[in-house]
Amino acid sequence: MVSEMRGLQAAKGSPLQNMPEMHSQDGPPLSMDEELRLAFHISSLRPLSVLCRRLDDYLGPSIAQLTHLFLLIVVNSVTLFALFILLVRTLWSLGTNVTTIESWEIERHKTLLRRARHFGGYLEGPDGIKMRIQKQEFPYDIGIWNNIKAGMGSSNILSWFWPFAATPGRDTGLSFEVNGFEDPGLSWPPPDPDRIPRKPRYMDMGDPFPVRHFDSAQEEIEAFNQRQREDMERRSGGFGLQRRRKFHERYAEQDAEGENSFQDDDTSNEGEEAWRNAEGDRLQDFGVDEEVEFYDEDDIPLAELMRRRREQQAQESY
């Protein structure tokens, strides 16, 4: 079968024409070192493996060798593809004189321009600062050939591939040529409102603990409710509704203070009829019965209140 295959390949001018006849007694199999060397010639081994796929088992490579060859093909193909992508990316960065971080800064600047376009060209920074966002060109793109010369350090193409070429001076890493499209006073990267630090907030040095710590959750809840009431009073500005406390609470406070204590509007004994808002309106001005102890109805379901109201209206209609 080998002779027939050799004759067929000789007629077609195959590279196997001068290959010696293979026998099982030709010697030991290839060593690992030789297999690694053959891995660098995969392009020539592929057609050879295709031509020898119909040979007898004892004439062809073993299962382990075929598995190793397949793994080498897969790994080398993936590595070659990754290196090709890296080469394209490096050539693009060299031609545009843009590093990876600078490319991120350019994309960030484009994003800020799109956001500012919807807000009239301004974006809000920390502490409510309005910042005008204007388009800026990348200042270090000075042309493809000049970019390559600046990146490789010389215009001599042969020196790019010579490992013993002279190293550029240190001053080349301190000053860079710009294209002059923008004002030299503008900085790169452009200002980003999201990255500007906030103004320092100085605490009162007389109080080392500006934030109060509570001993229990109940105290923290009560303090929160107190702050909420104070906020409501500040927002109302004295013109909002002032609801009186319940009678038994006012009575207990009055009894504790004594008969000679000062009585204001909240501690007067006129009952619920004395309730007034900042404009002097009473409950009866809003159609509310002042004789009803309305604070007792806080825990009554709404359905029960509606039922009582319907019964009262029915009695009045008769």
Which positions ≥6 away from 130 have C-beta within 8 Å? Answer: 122, 123, 124
Residue type, 105: E
pLDDT score at 222: 86
CA 48 to chain CA mean position, Å: 52
Tokens 């923290």 belong to: 220
Rounded Cα distance between 213 and 277, Å, is: 36
Using DSSP bridges, classify how beta strands 130-132 and 122-124 pair: parallel, antiparallel or unpaired: antiparallel
Beta bridge partners of 130: 124
Domain residue extents for the chain: 97-165+175-195
pLDDT by position in tens, the chain (length 318): 344 444 444 444 444 444 445 444 455 555 555 655 656 666 566 666 666 666 666 766 778 888 999 999 999 999 999 999 999 999 999 998 898 888 889 999 888 888 888 888 888 877 777 888 888 888 888 888 988 888 888 888 888 888 888 877 777 777 788 888 888 778 888 888 888 777 776 665 565 555 666 777 888 888 888 888 887 776 665 444 455 566 667 667 766 665 554 444 444 445 555 566 666 667 666 666 665 554 555 566 777 778 888 888 887 776
| Tokens, residue 287 | 């159609």
pLDDT score at 124: 82
CA dihedral over 163, 165, 171, 177, signed as positive or negative: negative
pLDDT score at 291: 59
Centre a 10 Å sphere on the Cβ of residue 98 and count the other Cβ atoms it contains: 18
Beta bridge partners of 131: 123
pLDDT score at 268: 47
**Alpha helices, DSSP H, located in the chain:** 2-12, 32-38, 42-51, 63-96, 100-117, 144-152, 157-160, 217-236, 247-257, 302-317
Beta bridge partners of 124: 130
pLDDT score at 30: 58
pTM confidence score? 0.43
